[in-house]
Every structure is written in C-alpha cells, then in structure tokens.
Structure 1
Amino acid sequence: NDAKYYSIVSAIDLFGACTPQVEATTNAMYAVGLGSAYVPTVIADFTAPVTSGCITPFTVNFQNISSNASSFVWNFGDGNTSTLVNPSHTYNIYGNYNVTLNANGGACGTDSILKSSYISVSTSNPCIVILPLDGTATTQTTCTGKLFDGGGPSGNYADNSDAIVTISPSGASNVTLNFISFDVEPGDAGYCNYDYVEIFDGPSTASTSLGQWCNLNGSPGTLTSTGGSITLLLHSDQGLNLAGFEMDWSCSLASTPPVANFSNNPISTCTGDVSFTDLSSNGPTSWLWDFGDGNTSTLQNPSYTYNNNGTYNVSLTVTNTYGSDNITNSNLVTVNKPTAPIVNGGANCGAGTVNLSASGSGVIHWFDAASGGTELGTGNSFTTPSISSTTTYYAEDHIAQASQYVGNTQSSSNGSTFTYTNEHYLIFDCTKACTLISVEVNATTNGNRVIELRDNSGATLQTTTVNIPSGVSRITLNFNIPVGTNLRLVGPGSPNLWRSNAGVSFPYAIAGLVSINNSDAGTQHYYYFYDWEIKEPDCVSSRVPVDATINPFAIAGFSLTDNGLGNVSFTDASQNSSSWNWNFGDGSGTSIVASPNYTYLADGTYTITQIVTNSCGTDTSYQ
C-alpha cells in the first residue's frame, strides 16, 4: 500500500491529478496486485485486520485503500485524529467507535467514508491479539483468545526482531496453546537457527523452555503449561520473513484450592536485595508474603530489601475461590552485609564547611539521607558544603565483589572475521542487576566501534564508542545491566570482528546472574563479544549517621535592677554561653554566676563588665 500510494502521489506531483500518467501508474500497481484499477474520481476507503478487542489498551492498524487521493484526515471516533496514510491508533476506553476517513485528491475531487461502530472494545468480545513487530506485548489475562504474529492475519512478521507475549489468565491452573497455522523460516544443519518460535513454561522467557519451532520441525501443535502462565517468543533474523502463525489459547480454571510454592534469588546476599517468584499451582488469585523481619507484600512476584543482617524464614500464603495454602521455608534467606563503618563527626564555629571521617573495610560512600537520597561523595573523609545549622549525613561501606567470567572463549578459532553490513547481537537474560565490565574481542583493523546494550524491544539502554586495536584485546564497557530477559549486546555493521560459527554451545551462564542464550542468527553463531567480565553489585553495609555540628558564637548581654541601698540584681541576657565572668566596676566585686546579685558599699558611678565564653570563644558587654 505504501509503494502504491507514493508512486501515485509522485505521478500526481509530476503530471497533475487524474491525468493519463496517473491512470497508467495506478493500473501498473493494480497489475502487480497493489490496490484497485484506476477510476477517474476520488474514492475513500479503508480496512483494518482486527477491529474488535477484549481489553484496553487496544491498538488498531488501519490500512488506507482509497483511490486517487494524496492527503487524508482520519477521525477515530474517540476525539483523536491523524493525517497519516496508514495510521495505528490505540483505544484506551471500552466502547464502540465510528471511524471516518476524508480523502482529498485535488483536481480529482474529494470523498469521505464513515464506518459506524467499526471498532469495538469490550470484555465480551473474543480476544484477538496481534503481537508487536518487535518488543513485548501487554500480558493477556483472559482465559481464551486468538494470537497472530506481528503481521496479523494476512501479513508477514518483521525481520530482525524479538516479539514476546505472556498469557496469564487470572485463576488459571494451566494454559493450552493450539496452533492453527504455522509458517516460520527454517534453519539449517538441523537447527531452527534463523527464525523460530520458542515457548516457555511460565511468566517470562526466564522460565523453562518447552522448545523452539520453525518450518524445519513444523508447528508446535498443541502445548499445555504446567502452571497458570505461558510465554511465547517469536525471533527473526535479518533475512527472509514468512506468514508467521495463528494460534488459539484457552485455560483451565482452578476447581480446587491452590498449592503454594515459590523460589527466590539469591539465597545469600551481602546487599539485602532478594527477588521472589511465585511458583504456586491451581490458579491462586491473591498472595501474601511474610519476609520474616516483620514486613509483608501482596504482590505476586515481589522484590524485597532486608535492612539487617540475619537468617530469615519466608512464608507465602496463596488463595483462590476454593481455599488457600501456605508454605514456610525456614532459614531461607541469609543477609550478611558488611560491618557498618566507624564514623567521626565534626564541628565548626558558625556557618561554614565541616570535615567528617569514616573508616571501614571497603570504600566509604556518603549520603544525605538514611535511605535513598543523593550520593555526595566517596572516600574516608568528606567535607560538607557550607551549612548554617547542625546537619546529619550518612556513611556506608561498599566492598567490591570479585569479577566473574562467562561466555564463549574461542575468540580466534571456530569462526572467521565478519565484515558485512548486517547488525548482529547476542541475546541474554539477567536475573540480578550487575555490571558488564569488559569483553574480549578480535579485530582485523584498528578503529572505533559503537557497541550498544538494548532491551528486548530493541530500545537502547546504554551505548559506548570503543577504539579497538587489531588483534585480540579486552575492551572496557562498564554497562549497567538491569534484570531482564532477551537483552541484547549489539555490535555495529561492518565490524571486522571475529565471530564463531562452530563449536558454539549455548547457554553460557553464571547461575542466578547471567545466561547468554542465543544470537540473533540462532544457536550456531556467536558474535564478537567473548569472555564477559561480570561484577555483581558491591556488598553494602547499613548506613551510619554522622553529625556535622554548627556551634554558635557566644553573644554577651545583660540587664540590671537597682533594688535600693546599693543592692543591684544582674540578669543574664547573653546567648549560647557556657561560662560567665562579671566585674562590677568597684575594684573588688566579681562573680561567675550567670545572673548575680551584688551590694555596693559606697555611692558612685560604676561600669559593669560581662564576659561570656563558649567553645567558639568569648564576647564582652559593658554598661
């Protein structure tokens, strides 16, 4: 449709609307199966592969099949419009929507078409879902539905993509997939190593794989999960794409109480951070976690941070319509944070900076809050910004973890240098946030290469440009890897870097941390990045408060009352004083009391001196 549209628009721009040249171009497109035959008027028309949805948000891909028009105005019926030729629009509210298309052909005229209640979004509709061309779809929570690849009922899936969907109906004990049609590019050498559908027995691509399918081994047929969730991944390389698949799903709703079960990662932690995964069966609909330290959660798969060292029991109670179940794992989580640092506060007289210090087994990090907050610096000493009142800062000790290594190590064997313009990448999962410090590469030419970390939708998370010398070398990346599935470590086009096409044995994994599972060209190819150096997050102690004290200066001041007969009462009005020294001016009378009383023995005029002192110095007042 795009080829047809722009060819006709070009003809109109060159020769004018409704000219013989436009007629010839239109009929030429028609002859190769694009659009309809030429008519000398504007005809507005459109279609969409799927027009009804069962949940919001619901995205519709409109296809413009108008004739002899060069500009368009769409009204989607929900207050939104577009001037694109073939727009996609997302409906966020349930309802039935009229869709209008106004088509303008200039000298050929105009036309419009209104399709009443063309779009329906209702929970009573059958669920028809089209995968995104790339990235992760909304989790499907209905018990039945139909799923197409990103090309929809009549198109092909996209090249060089990873499209993912999880089906997790509320209260389901299992989910069954039934493939109606299946057409995915076959691999070679007995493997689905180009394009494939992979199905996982659980809520993510980190769950157990049930297998990979392509035209080499045929349709998956019918598959049933062991629990209430199942995940599908459609992977494609940069080459051929085919019609994809049509698949129906259904679920079995639980008819008995759930059976509680869960896992967690890690078992032992020096940071206090633990992720919990529900593995309960028989369709629980609610969850109650007890982390053993007095805190709880009602999330299905919570992440939790323990603040104190110790060994903790963790329990999970799951419930559905038919009852509940509980499991308690004793002594499950061990938290062994480093010893908190020894701190020394500081002080200053009046507004200014204050020097603080701390010592520990690692590197001291300074913060402005007891938790969260902003990191202010590192090192055993810290100088505050200028402050005018006593302020509390916080220090914690970070002990670096040792490097761990994972990945293919054959950076100069079982392969060759890749020089083509195609972009390639490794696909991996990360179950615990970590840092990719460095990788080994083998280059045939010196020069800069752009290396990227992307998520499973292809969005760039981090990028770096590295000057790589020729030969085998280790390059620094320092990529902060988040928890995620099907992450991508991406090399440039025309990289002149070594890649392996033999002796590859995926997955390459560090248990509970990272698993390199595949490449975008399948399991028989390993691209560019060898022997990954990985570091887990630093071990972190509890934060300790450190006071930066601002001591005020002493300010002298007093008043007096003449009581008669030479007796005078002195009232201290000084500020911030810790000691007082009075001289009553008669040559003999003194006092160190804050507010003294003194009797003069002779008439006269006397000058009284008050000297007040604190740790920041002295001040004097006279009357």
Structure 2
Amino acid sequence: MKKIIFLITACFVAFATKAQQASFFAADTVGCVPFTCTFVNTSSNAASYIWTFSNGVTSSASNPTVIFNDTGYFDVQLIALSPTGLADTLFLENYIYVSAPPVVSFSAPAEVCKEETFFPQNMSQNASTFIWDFGDGNTSILENPAHQYTHSGNFNIALFAYNEWGCSAFHSASVYVKEIPDINVVSENRISCDLSAPVNISLSASDNSQINSVSWEIDNGLFTASGLSAQFNFNSFGNHDVKNTVSFTNGCVKELELEDYIQINESIVPQVVLSDSSGCVPFTTSAEIINFDAYAGIVWNNNGEGDVSETQLSFDDPGVYHISLTVIDTNGCSSAQILENLITVSSPPVLNTNFPVYGCDNDTVLLQVFNPQASFVSWTIDNASFTGNTIQIPTTDKDLDVSLHVDFFSGCSIDTAISDFVKIINPSAAMIQQSATTGCVPFSVDFSLQNPNLYSAVTWYFDNDTSASVYNPSITFPNAGVYGATIITESTTGCIDTINAGYLVHAKNSVPVNLNVDTISGCSPLSVNLSAQNIGYNYWEWKTDSIVIGTDETLVYSFETPGIHAIQLSSENYNGCPFTQNFAVAEVLDGDADFIVQNISCNSKEAVIIDAKGNVASAQWDFGDGTVETGTNVGVHTYENYGFYTAFVSYITNDGCPGVEGVSLSFAECLFSGSLGAGSAGLFAPMDGDNIPDSVLIVPDSATMIYCGPVDIHFSCPLPQDSVSACFWDFGDGTTSTEINPEHIYNQSGTFD
C-alpha cells in the first residue's frame, strides 16, 4: 500500500516542476577569418551558463561574442544550470565555419594603346566570382575579360575576388593608355558605275605627324598598297572589302576593316515597248518599261513624268522621234538612255474650213470643208448627224457647236470639236457689257456690246428717256430708280433684232444726313468731344480747317488757336452713298495775356507791368512783397527795398478766360567812384571844365544786376548831361561804346564788370 502511494507522489512532483533547457543560435555561422560571432542564448529556466568553443575559448556570459582567428569548422557547447544546480547541455558539432579569404592576383600590360583590345590574366586562388573595375567607368564580372580604352591617360585596374562564403580580397595595378590619332577612310568614288574609272582611297587622320606607316589590303590580299592614299583599278563589277592598317610612332597599331566599302555596279539597259510606233499628228502612243523593277528611279525625258513604268507620249509635229530616259537602277547607277528612231509621226492634210459661220436665227446656214484630200466628212450638230463635205442646216436662236470627223486618202484622220462654229446674230442680255450695275446718283454707267464688229448699226433706248446710236454709250442717271434698255441691232449679214433688257441699272438715292450744327464755345485750349453714333456707316472722317483730325466714330480733339473752327463729318448713308456735312462749330476764346515790365531805371524801386496784348479785362496783382492789389491790365508798385521779386497776376481776359502769369523783377542801387582802379572795368566819361576830372569810373558796389541772357540793357550816364560831351563805356565782354546813354545786348552768360 505505501509503495503505490510513493509512486503517485513522485509523479506529481515531476509534472509540477519545470526543468531548465539549453538552447542558442548564432546570427551568422559562416564567416571569413578573423570571424567575430555573437551567440544568442535562448535557454529557459536557467540561472547560469557555461560555454565551451573548440577554438579553446570558454565563457559564462549569457550572450558571448567570440573571435575565431583560425580557419576551419568549430564546435559549440552550452550548459544551462538551474538555480538548484541541475544542468542541461546542448552540443552542436561543426556549428561554425571560418573561411580563408581569396588570394587575388592578375597580370596586365603596363602600357596599351587607345582602342587596343587587351586581356588581363586572372591568377587569383580560392575565389569563385570576380568584379573588374577598369577605372574608366566600365566594369566586368568575367573571370578573364577583354577590355579597350577609348581615352588616353593613366588608369587603375582593380580586381575584387569573392569565394563561395562571401570572403573577398582586392588587388589593383595601373596601366598607361597611349594616345593615337583618330583615323578615317575617305573615298569620293567608292560607289561607281564606271568600271574603267580607278577608285581613289585615302586615310584621313587628326594628326598625320604621328603616323609611321599605312598599308591597304583589298579582298584579303587581292590588291595591296601602302601610303596615305592609294588607287585601285577593278576589272569586274561587284563589292570589295577594304582593310587598312596604320602604325604610329609610339608603337601603336590600328586596323579598320570595311566590308563592301567599294561598290562597282553595272548599269541596266531599259527594255521599252510601244503600243504604236507610227501615226499622224497629233499622235499619242503608250511606252512601257518591261524591266521596271530593276530601277530605283526613272524619268521619261520626253514628257518629264517620273517613277512610272508606263507613260503616254504625245507628238504634235511630224518627224522621227527617239525615247530618252534618265534611269537610276537599284545598284545606284544613274545613266541617260536614248532609244533612237522608235517613233515616226506623219503630217496629215490640212483641214480647211472657215469658222465661225454667222447666220440669223430661224434661217439656214451653209457649212463646208475645203480639202480635196478629205475622203469622208462626218458632222455632229446638236446630236444630229450629217455627212458630206458641204451641208446646209437650219438655225435657231442659239449658237451651234460642231464635232467633225474627217478621213483623208492618206489614211490619217482628224477628230475635232469646235465650239460656236455657227454664230447666231441675236442680241441678248449676255451680249451687253456695262461698267457697273449699282451706284449713287448722279450715277454714270458705260455700256458696250460684245463683238461690235458683228453689227452694222445699233440704237440704245434707255428708261430715263435717253438714247444713243453708238456701240459704247456713256449714260448718266440723275434720279434714283431701276432702269432698263431696249437695243435694236442690225448685223453685218442684215439680221435685225430687238432685245428688251428689263434690269440694267439701279441708281440709289444719295440721301443727305440732316444734322443740327451746334456751336461749342470755350477758352483755349478747348477740348471737344465728337460722336457720330447712329450717324453714317462703315467709315468716318473728321475735318477742321481743311485738316483731317480723326477717322473713328468718336473723337476727342483739342483746339489751341483762338477763332471760329468749322467741323465737318464725312461718312456713308444707309444706301452706301457718301456724304459730307457740317457737324459743329468750335468757338475758341483767347485766354492768353502777355505781361511785360517797362524799363526800370537805376536807383528806382518802382515797377510798371503792362499787358502788351491788351487782352486783360481785370486782374489781381501779388507783387511778391506781401502787397496784393486788384486792378486792370497795368500794375504799378513801388518796393521798399532793392532785390529780386516775382510778381504774379491772376487775370480775366476780355473773352472771360482766366489765367495766371508770373513776372521776375530786379532792383539795384547804382553807386559810383571817382578814381580808376587797376584792372577794373567801368565807365570813362570826359567832362568839360578845368576842375572836372579827365575821367570818371563807375563800378557797381553792393548791387548786382542779374538777367537771363541774351539780355538788352539800356545804360544811363549818371553825370549831369550838360557837362558831358562824350562817354567811353567798357561793357566787360570785350565791346565798348562812346554814346552817352548806350544800349547793349549781352549774348553770353556770365558775370560782367
């Protein structure tokens, strides 16, 4: 009984307690020496760990990192210990593999030529894949690639080698690429259709001084030559290969192989057949090229038609003719081919008949072919057939077209169609010509008849009670209306007929436009707004004083000149007839005044300003010194001090126009000295009397006269006039005067003493 209970209890303990379990993994199990590997511990219910590695390393870390410095396979063992000391062991044999890196090596020439193909030799060991970098932007994954440099200079070749475990190694070597000139084979006649002409071929290089030798080979040694240029003669048609070998002074060699470069093509003669080779003029035959597919281009020189296998050839003159062609065959050969004496064209007898034949309507007319060589004549007139050299047919009121077929004893025949073979003399509306049908009164129209030589007399009767007996009358219709005419004609054959033309002329009324002429008054400049809305059509032209001032429907115009200005408008009325009417009158009032300053005498402070035009009715004066006065067109004011002033006048003209004008004023005191200073300029005045000095110098002291030049200045001698017989003035600008009170004009700017 006890034994059974013990076993049950032991089983219960085993299921209730979880045992520790050792487990781990490594992110990478394969690497290259030296290989650093980190192990991730995934054990459960363990308190401590014992790691053992076959490279002799041990560790108690939970997640150890181990460095493998040797190559080969390595075992890993992990013992996981529970808190009570129970152990669980996980052993993985050969779990880690450490590979040795590849041994990289290759051989390559130290120098190559540009565009020369070379083969670097790969001598690497323990490697399965490769990457070549040639230093010019090109790479290769071949074990032993071929390479060619397109530029000269120094380049570095690098080889990266990888084994199956991803281990890599690197090796590099430098190579110098020698420059060679660019070369090209040139021939202006390499494609030819002339077997007898030699083919010239030459070498074109960017720098001929670097060329050591040149050799040529045609068709694998059929022809050879040397030198920069060569000439070859061929005795058979066909294509030829060219091989060119160039050696340079730096030891480089370059070859050019040009397949089918020289082409000597054989021209193909066209084979032409004709539908007819002889006949009478006008003669037409069909020419066809049987071997048309052998040509890339064809021009029939007889008629200029191109690139067709069959063409129509027409001949209007008798003679023996060749067929001329310009052909380009599929070989590229162009040639002119002349097939001689293929076509013979004869001249038929001349068909003599007088036409047109004139007749009267509802009569008969005689038709005849004058040619003794005509064996048979067939006439077709208005779908009716007649035969015979001479026939007589009835006429109606219309012209007749005739189709003729004539056979001649020579075997030639003529088919011809003649329009209006029979002309019926019968005036109709279609026979009247006129210069115009619609116009504005008075409307003049020139009339005429077609073919006036058909008539011996003609009389015109118009609906406006005028008549004329000439072929081309000119009639004026003074009144509006629709007018016709009656024309009576007599033909040179005696036919008389009357035609009533009911509608020939439409004379339209030139209705004037009634406008109220308004007068627009104002001061200059006067701006006027003109509008022709609902007045006239299509165009507008405004005039004043015989000058065109605008061509728009509306216009804004400014009048500057005072006076009366008439404004005219030209346009079209609703009939399309032109008119010119007075539109308005612009009365431009004079708004200008001309204020001037009368002479200001020396030592005077009085200003007199007047309106020279006499156009001012009233004015308000602001003299610039604080004085304001109201007056007329004359302003008089005395200033207290010398100096410069600007007087403004606001005025109303006699026409009631306002204005403002400014006047500049200058006042200075005249001072004099009795002695002459050295270098001074001034006035020298001889005087009568023993006690009067021989000369007196007058110089400005503090006052300066300032003017806007050119300026006209009146000078007054300050000495008593009865004691001075003469004065000598020096104006300081190089001019002088002996007058007592001279007038002088300064033409240049500056300061003058």
| Structure showing greater Rg | 2
Common fold: TM-score over 0.5: no
Q: Which has the higher relative contact order, 1 or 2, with Cα contacts under 8 A spaced 6 or more apart?
A: 1
User: Per residue, is there more strand in 1 or in 2?
Assistant: 2
